[in-house]
Structures are given as C-alpha cells and as structure tokens.
Amino acid sequence: MADILIKNGRVICPDQGLDEVADLLITDGRIATIGAVREPAHEVIDAAGKIVCPGLIDMHVHLREPGDCDEETIATGSAAAIAGGFTTIVAMPNTDPPIDNPAAAEYVINKGRQANLANVLPAGAITLGREGTELTEMGLISLAGAAAFTDDGSWVTSAGLMAKALKYAKLTGLPIMSHCEDPSLAGNGVMNAGRAAAELGLAGTPVSAEETAIARDIILAHETGGRLHVTHVSTAGGVELIRRAKERGDNITADATPHHLTLTEEFARGYNTNARVNPPLRTKADVDALRAGIKDGTIDAIASDHAPHAPQEKACEFDKAAPGVVGLETTLSMLAAKLVGTDFLTWPELIAALTIRPARALGIAKGTLRPGADADIVVIDPAAEWIIDSARFVSRGRNCPFDGMSVVGRAEVVIAGGAIKDV
C-alpha cells in the first residue's frame, strides 16, 4: 500500500490532546508519524490551511438494505458517509428483514467490505423481529461482528426483557443502544407536544415519553452493570437524567443528532415533512440543553440518525409522513456552521464528539491518530463555503431539513484504511 504524506495541516486529535500544525505520514495503511516528516512518500497531500483529523464516526445510520434499496443501499450509504467525512458508520437493524441473526449481521459486513468505502459495522437487534418479545442470539450476533445492539425505532417496553438484554450484552462487551420512547406515552404523536402542535392541529409526543424511558433504562443499567447508550436524546430532562447517572459513576453514554441540536418544533410550521422525526424536534430550551450536554461531555457523541425515505413517503400530509431525515452529507458542515461558527464549540471539541467519543462509546479502536492506528483520516477545509443541495447528494435520500442552507466547512480528502476515497 502506497505511503501518503499529509503536509502542513492543522492536525487535531482529541484522543491525544493534539492541535498543532504538523505533517502526518501514513505507511502500510496505518498512522506512522506526526511531526516534521522528511521521509519521501509516494503521494503528498498539501493540507496548508486545512484541518487533518481522525475519520469521523457516525454511530447511528439507516442504510435500508436489505429491503428498501430504492431508499439507500449499503454501497450508496457508504459513499454518502465518505462524502460527509465519515470513515466508520454503524448500520441500524430496522431493515426488512431486520438484522436479528448472525447471518444478517455478516451480510451487512460483507456488503460493506464489497463497497470498500467506509467501515460498516452492523448493530444487531435486541429482540427477534424487533418485536420486543424474545431476545436475539446476542452472543452469536456479537461473534459475527456486530458493534452494538438496538431495536432502534422502537423501545424495548418490557423492563424484564431489557434487564436480561443488558446482562447478555455485558457478556459480549457491546453496548445496548436504546431508542428511549415509551409508546404508551408517545401515542400517535407526530411532533413535540406543546403549543405549536396544538396550533397545527397535530398530535404531540410529550417529553415524558422519552424521559421516563431513559430513567428506567438508567435504573436497569445501574442494577445489571450492562452498558447502556441512550441514542438521539432530544429533551433537557433526558440530558439531566444522563448527567446525574454519570455523576454517580454509571457507565452510560449518549448521543444527539445534528437536527435536534439545531432545529426546534417551530420548523414544523408550514407542515414541512422534513420536521417529522422520531424523537420529535423540541423547544429552544431543549436544544440549549443538548448543546450544553455536548460541551460538558454528558452527551458523548453526535450521530446523524441518517434516515433516507422514498420521496412519496415525505410528499404527503405531515401526520402520514415517514419519520426521519438524511444527515451523512450535512452533519459536519451544519455543526461547523452552527456550533463552531458561532464559537459555541471549538474545532477540537466538535471533532471529539465525532471521533474519539463515539469510538469510546462503542469500544472500538478508532477515532484516533495515534501511531499504529488504522489510517482513517479526513482533511477538512474549514473555510469552504457551499450551499446544501439535496439534489446533488450521493445518498439516495433527498429528505434533508437543511436543503438550501449556506454552510462553511467541508470534507475535502477522506482516507479509510490508508486508501484515498472519492469524496
């Protein structure tokens, strides 16, 4: 494999507390040296004025394969990941059929390898068919190469089953990613319960649907010692519950999405179906709490919840629309614009939430530029100004709430496993 030298970039590696202008040498698909490098390299990338950091990790994406390849495939989703600067993605199991057995997990891994773009790690379902009644063969799914377990899209409503799942997951060393939303409280809600929903005449999901679910799962994780990861936190109360659990020493992690960090329920006015997501967009106070959670580490990671849907599933009445928005190609730039551009986060803080923090939450040896690590790297142009145009996405999904927005910052070169990929 050819040596690559990335010269004169601002090398940011939050895992090592590194933020300095330096050269970075890649040999044999691994990080060799950071510093002033004199060795001749086969390929030289001039990164002056650019950021050089670990390839981004998105621990929550929907790739729709098997089952809905008109919406996305493992190959098109991987290409979208690379276009957005992500070199590792975790594929949710709510496919058709679901990833609820070892062969299905192997299928996702093999398809990811064939695509040869990003590292695609499957999350296995917690329960058979994601039906919430019987546990999957978690040990075998883990041996097949799964990175986590989740019934994403649904919460495991039986506390007894969730407690068992946490105990089994502990034996595998993998986290349980919980979609914390109690359906008995969420009911047929399609947006946040509150004034906007009342004025729009739409059914609302109260914050209690999320917060009671998070509270229960924290209690179960505490008692069982299982690894709980709360995915797509959307409420201020949820952030507070996780903060308190962490303060008492619980081994809990969490993520929030770019849309929950930047949009409120007000976005649903006009019945824009790209405001239809699960959990729903909340209020400004919730957005502020999520941002504070990222800043102080209560929320470990930012994950896109990339959820492509066919056009007809969004070109309909708001309450009939499928929940979810795409995010792989906009996450970095939206957050750069809205969180770094406003001086709320520094570049190293944002990069930490997209690299080493999700890597630690997943327990994978990624998200770092330590010598010897896999050469998964992204070169970011922090000054690149562009307008988001969903028609130009690599993803098959066009359901983007940020379409038409001006953003700054873009992945320019993406290297996965030491190989330069087409961005």
User: How many CA atoms lie less than 13 Å away from 138 in the CB half-sphere?
Assistant: 25
CA 65, CA 62: separation in Å to the nearest integer? 9
Nearer to ligand DOR (CB atom), residue 15 or residue 181 = 181
Which member of 93, 98, 238, 324 binds ligand DOR (CB under 6 A)?
324
Q: Could you tell me how many residues of this chain bind ligand DOR (CB under 6 A)?
A: 11
Residues 328-367: x/- map of binding to ligand DOR (CB under 6 A)? ----------------------------------------
CB of 229 to ligand DOR, least distance (A): 14
Assess 277 for contact with ligand DOR (CB under 6 A): yes
β pairing state of 406-416 and 419-421: antiparallel
CA 130, CA 138: separation in Å to the nearest integer? 13
CA 57, CA 150: separation in Å to the nearest integer? 18
Residues 164-183: x/- map of binding to ligand DOR (CB under 6 A)? ---------------x----
Which member of 119, 224, 278, 390 binds ligand DOR (CB under 6 A)?
278
Distances (CA, A) of 130 to 101, 333, 336: 11, 33, 35
CB of 114 to ligand DOR, least distance (A): 23
- Asked whether 381 and 50 are in contact (CB, 8 A), the reply is yes
Nearest to 51 by CA among 251, 349, 360, 287: 349
Query: Among the residues of 51-100, which ranges form H helices?
Result: 74-83
Which residues have C-beta within 8 Å of that of residue 30, sequence separation ≥ 6?
371, 372, 373, 374, 375, 418
- Collapse the DSSP code of 168 into the 3-class scheme (helix H, G, I; strand E, B; otherwise coil) and give the result: helix
Range 28-47, binding ligand DOR (CB under 6 A) = none
Residues 101-140: x/- map of binding to ligand DOR (CB under 6 A)? ----------------------------------------
Distance of CA 104 to the CA centre of its chain: 21
* Exposed e or buried b per residue across 330-351, where buried means at least 16 C-beta atoms within 10 angstroms of its C-beta: bbbbbbbbbbbbeebbebbbbb
CA 5, CA 15: separation in Å to the nearest integer? 21
Residues 62-101: x/- map of binding to ligand DOR (CB under 6 A)? x-------------------------------x-------
- Which residue has its beta carbon closest to ligand DOR? 324
Which member of 145, 153, 187, 382 binds ligand DOR (CB under 6 A)?
153
Which member of 98, 226, 237, 323 binds ligand DOR (CB under 6 A)?
323
Nearer to ligand DOR (CB atom), residue 259 or residue 421 = 259
Nearer to ligand DOR (CB atom), residue 112 or residue 323 = 323
CB of 231 to ligand DOR, least distance (A): 8
Nearer to ligand DOR (CB atom), residue 16 or residue 208 = 208
CB of 222 to ligand DOR, least distance (A): 25
CB of 152 to ligand DOR, least distance (A): 5
Assess 313 for contact with ligand DOR (CB under 6 A): no
- DSSP run (H or E) holding 211: helix 207-224
Cis peptide before 66 (omega within 30 of 0): yes
Nearer to ligand DOR (CB atom), residue 235 or residue 278 = 278
- Asked whether 301 and 351 are in contact (CB, 8 A), the reply is no
CB of 36 to ligand DOR, least distance (A): 47
Assess 187 for contact with ligand DOR (CB under 6 A): no
Q: Which amino acids are annotated catalytic?
A: 305
Nearer to ligand DOR (CB atom), residue 13 or residue 92 = 92
CA 130, CA 145: separation in Å to the nearest integer? 19
Site of interaction with ligand DOR (CB under 6 A): 62, 94, 152-153, 179, 277-278, 305, 307, 323-324
